[in-house]
Amino acid sequence: MIKTDNNNNIYMMNCEAVSKRCSSSLKNGKILSVLFVGVGGQGIILATAVLAHAAINAGFDVKVSEVHGMAQRGGSVEGSVRLGKKVFSPTISSADLIVALERLEAARYIERLSPGGVLLVNDYEIYPSSGFAQKQCHAPDAGKLLSEATGNFLFINAVEIARKLGRIKVSNIVLTGVLSRFLPFEDDCWMEAVKKNVPKKAININVKAFISGREFFNK
Amino acid sequence: MKNKGNLRLLTGNEAIARAAYESGVTVASAYPGTPSTEILENIAKYKEIYCQWSVNEKVALEFASGASIAGARVLVAMKHVGLNVAADPFITLSYTGVNGGLVIVSADDPYMHSSQNEQDNRFYAKFAKVPMLEPSDSQEALDMVKDAFEISERFDTPVLLRTTTRISHSRSLVSTGSRHGSFTGKYVKDARKYVMIPAYGRSRHRIMLQRWEKLEKLSEEVKYHTVYKPAAKEITSDIGIITSGVSYQYAREVFKNIPVLKLNMTNPVARKAITDFASGRRLLIIIEELEPFLEEQVKSLNLKAAIAGKEFFPAYGELGISALEMVYGQLFGTSLFTKSGISIDYPGKYYAEVKDEKQPGEPVVKDITGSMINGLPARPPVLCAGCPHSPVFYVLKKLKAVVMGDIGCYTLSVLPPLDALDSCLCMGAGISQALGMEKADSRLKSRVVSVIGDSTFFHSGITATIDNAYNNGTGLIIVLDNGTTAMTGHQAHPGVGKTLMGDDAPELKPESFAAAAGIKHIKVVDPNKLSELEAVIKEEMERKELSFVVCRRKCVLIEKKKNKVIVTIDQNLCKECGACIKFGCPAIELKNGVYSINGMLCTGCGVCADICRFKAIIIKNIK
């Protein structure tokens, strides 16, 4: 499956191969680590909850670590989900998969990606306001920083997809949908997880968002 | 879909709350503090349990002890520094004992994710000779709280449950049970037990020491220490790990082939179980975060085995997989086993140089002062757009005040560009510190100002205010009243008019307490009215008598009334002086040399319009 990003760079992203690799790792008793990063308020905790419950539905043990308090204060946020037959540590060292809801945070956390790991990046940037006062108004090229570190990353225009659905706020669920293609869980595991965790009034739009993400490669 | 239907994914805090419910608890108290806050917030969801935010942790524990004496099962929760505040009742509660079970949760914060220190509260249990349990995941948190109530009543003692951030805030699968009704004891008068005059206290102390011996026997019971024997092909009987809490999880992942003794009760520690485990082993690796709490006790047993502890694991910050992998490499090189077995004379042989400040596994870029590192700008938490604290610090900076601050959202004013805080020590400290500065050097009198939030004021600012009034302070005390306990998630406090459980409550006002202390110069201002704010602060700084100014405006995140305005910067008038950027509002942006307002973030407070002396910031009403 070939995908191009905004700069028309071509990345080979064979999600089926990654999914198969994850599946056999899990069968061998290995623990999979998925790291979510972004800016406070982007919905990282919800994304970790959806993945965690999908993994539980698929029969795995799960541990989730999260940082509370940054939702309103615009700070850097990370949350992780570890899954496997039996998970011990709630925190990760290196991640098999990183889902970044923001470009600069993707660049910040890239060194946590394990060799061969996959990075999914929301093609969206929030410049830190504390940087304005330093007159650092030229944002570094996150894409360049990422490509210097790994070839295994992909920009996803999740904000655009969410905007078309009518709600930018569901970008995090769009990305979770994309992520789902790299993991060996059945559809119904994910659907139940999405419905269980999103606000009751917003179930429909979030299901649509998840499906949009899941169908991202069908273009 | 293979759903583990009877298991729930809970944080440690949620599990503790559930355990209180299942244990028949009927009273709970706390003061908000990360990482403990969610314990009471979740207990409050159970209508069978009376919950309250107390003014501070000392009061919360005293209140809880009263409920316990009256026969209820009570749970109190606090963060690690909260136990410092509650230490007075805590130490003596070990003498009086309890009636209904009393469980105190101390949620420690290794790495200081959101605290002013990373103290190791396990020493409090040792200090008070109070039994302590340390869960290593959410299921254990639930089970241990339930057991703690049994221990508390059986041995007539408060019990400490000690968690850390990674237990309190991590989620893992939990099997929950049910509540078999409320626990209801009866009050029985017993002055010799509850009134700690010296004569009674002395006899209670001896009772407490006898109890300690019984607890030491209890700690040897099988459920309080678990030995894990790896199933791997190569086991080493020469080496063993001793650990507790979340460190147990890291040990299981990294030191896969080594047997682990996990201590569930960590005060007292089971000396016989440790000695038995150590028997025949040449090396014991003690894996614990922060202080060598277990290590020192193991060393005091004078075992034959060599002990590897704090020479390898740092006494600061958190542990994790990376930290343990590094130590694994230091201790054993790349291979745990040599052909002839392990030859370790003393772990000191493998001592590696102390690394730099970087935490293993931490992202490279983590400088909160805002400078670029490795090409990436830092992203620290900042005061929100529209925060009523920002104008106060803007003015204090302009007036070159020395600002003795305190704990809350407003502590963020220390970061650039505001850079407006000189000190933040602990709850209520700013007001007392300001008096200290004034008495030490009278030249500072006109410059020193103390700043405190409304919740923090009720917590420990009143006593400090009285001290200023009584000891003839001449400074300026500023209360930042945003109508909530904001930083921890907008909890209620005595000034808000509502309790934790949603009942109406009297709205206490900080200025009433200032008046009661006899302070003559008390003012209340709206911090968003910038010129009036500046005039008042300037006047009161210059005044040679004690002043008390309340800056009152609701936290922008809970303010229901929205300003129906659009704020923009007129590029023709903008002189690019940068004054607005120095205000630090995240909605004011400077991109490619152009100053602009981000409409999505702006809350329309309008303060920036007053800051711009070229009147380039325009506020337009929208209908």
Interface of B with A in 266-285 (CB under 8 A): none
Q: Per the CB < 8 Å rule, is B173 touching A62?
A: yes
pLDDT at res. A195: 97
User: B360 at the A interface (CB within 8 A)?
Assistant: yes
Structural domains for chain B:
8-218 (3.40.50.970), 223-350 (3.40.50.920), 389-552 (3.40.50.970), 565-621 (3.30.70.20)
Give yes or no for residue B522 having a pLDDT over 60.
Answer: yes
pLDDT at res. A127: 86
Reading phi first (left if > 0) and then psi (alpha if -120 to 50, else beta), residue B137 is in: beta
Candidates A133, A136, A140; nearest CB to B584: A133
| A148: closest CA of chain B, how far (Å) | 13
The Cα A185–Cα A204 span in angstroms is 21
Kind and range of the H or E run holding B395: helix B389-398
Quick check: B569 and B593 in contact, CB under 8 A?
Answer: no
Name which of A7-11, B22-26, B192-196, B401-405 the model is least confident about: A7-11
The Cα A83–Cα A85 span in angstroms is 7
The Cα A119–Cα A121 span in angstroms is 6
Q: Which residues of B81-100 are buried (b: 16+ CB within 10 A; e: fewer)?
A: bbbbbbbebbeebbbbbbbb
| A193: closest CA of chain B, how far (Å) | 11
SS3 B552: strand
User: B372 at the A interface (CB within 8 A)?
Assistant: yes
| B238: closest CA of chain A, how far (Å) | 24
The model's pTM is 0.94
The Cα B457–Cα B150 span in angstroms is 37
Name which of A137-146, B144-153, B441-450, B495-504 the model is least confident about: A137-146
Quick check: A133 and B582 in contact, CB under 8 A?
Answer: yes
Q: What are the domain boundaries of chain A?
A: 2-125+138-214
Candidates B7, B364, B417; nearest CB to A133: B417
Q: For residue B368, give the chain A residue with the closest CA.
A: A130
The CATH architecture to which A2-125+138-214 belongs is: 3-Layer(aba) Sandwich (3.40)
Q: For residue B488, give the chain A residue with the closest CA.
A: A69
CA B95 to chain centre: 27
Cβ burial, residue B233 (10 Å; 0-12/13-18/19+): exposed
pLDDT at res. B331: 83
Residue pLDDT, tens place only, B96-120: 999 999 999 999 999 999 999 999 9
Q: What angle do CA B121, B406, B81 make, to 5 degrees?
A: 5
Tell me which amino acid residue B66 is: G
Residue with structure tokens 């325009």? B618
Quick check: B159 and B148 in contact, CB under 8 A?
Answer: yes
pLDDT at res. B340: 37
Confidence of residue B377 (pLDDT cuts 50, 70, 90): confident
User: B363 at the A interface (CB within 8 A)?
Assistant: yes
Q: Which two tokens stand for residue B27?
A: 């009273």
Contacts of A136 in chain B (CB under 8 A): 372, 377
Q: Per the CB < 8 Å rule, is A68 touching B34?
A: yes
Candidates A52, A88, A111; nearest CB to B253: A88
- Percentage of the residues of chain B whose pLDDT score is greater than 70: 92
Backbone angles phi, psi at B446, to 5 degrees: -80, -10
Cβ burial, residue B407 (10 Å; 0-12/13-18/19+): buried
Give yes or no for residue B355 having a pLDDT over 90.
Answer: no
Tell me which amino acid residue B78 is: M
Tell me which amino acid residue B614 is: F
Give yes or no for residue B335 having a pLDDT over 80.
Answer: no
β-pair partners for B480? B453, B551
Candidates B318, B382, B489; nearest CB to A129: B382
Kind and range of the H or E run holding B431: helix B429-440
Strand order across the B476-481 sheet: B402-404, B448-453, B476-481, B547-552, B521-525
